[in-house]
Amino acid sequence: MGSVVAVSLRSGHHFSKTPSLCIRLLTGLGVDGDAHLGETVKHRSGVRKDPTQPNLRQVHLLHAELFDELGAKGFAVKPGDLGENITTAGIDLLALPTGTRLHLGASAVVEITGLRNPCIQIDHFRKGLMAATLDRDADGNLVRKAGIMSIVVADGDVRPADAIGVELPATPHRPLLPV
What is the rounded distance in angstroms from the CA atom of residue 60 to the CA atom of residue 69? 19
In a domain, 134, yes or no: yes
pLDDT value for 109: 98
Identify the CATH number of the domain in which residue 42 sits: 2.40.33.20
Q: Confidence class of residue 72 from pLDDT cuts 50, 70 and 90?
A: very high
- Look at the chain and report how many structural domains it folds into: 1
In a domain, 114, yes or no: yes
Domain that includes residue 98, residue range: 2-167
pLDDT tens by residue, 3-48? 999 999 999 989 999 999 999 999 999 999 999 999 999 988 889 9
In a domain, 172, yes or no: no
pLDDT value for 15: 92
In a domain, 177, yes or no: no
pLDDT value for 142: 94
In a domain, 86, yes or no: yes
Q: What backbone phi and psi angles, to 5 degrees, belong to 45?
A: -70, -35
In a domain, 85, yes or no: yes
In a domain, 176, yes or no: no
| Average pLDDT of the segment spanning 155-177 | 98
Q: Is the pLDDT of residue 91 over 90?
A: yes
CB neighbour list of residue 96: distance below 8 Å, 6 or more residues apart: 112, 148, 166, 168, 176
In a domain, 173, yes or no: no
Percentage above 90 pLDDT, the chain: 93
pTM exceeds 0.95, yes or no: yes
| Average pLDDT of the segment spanning 161-167 | 98
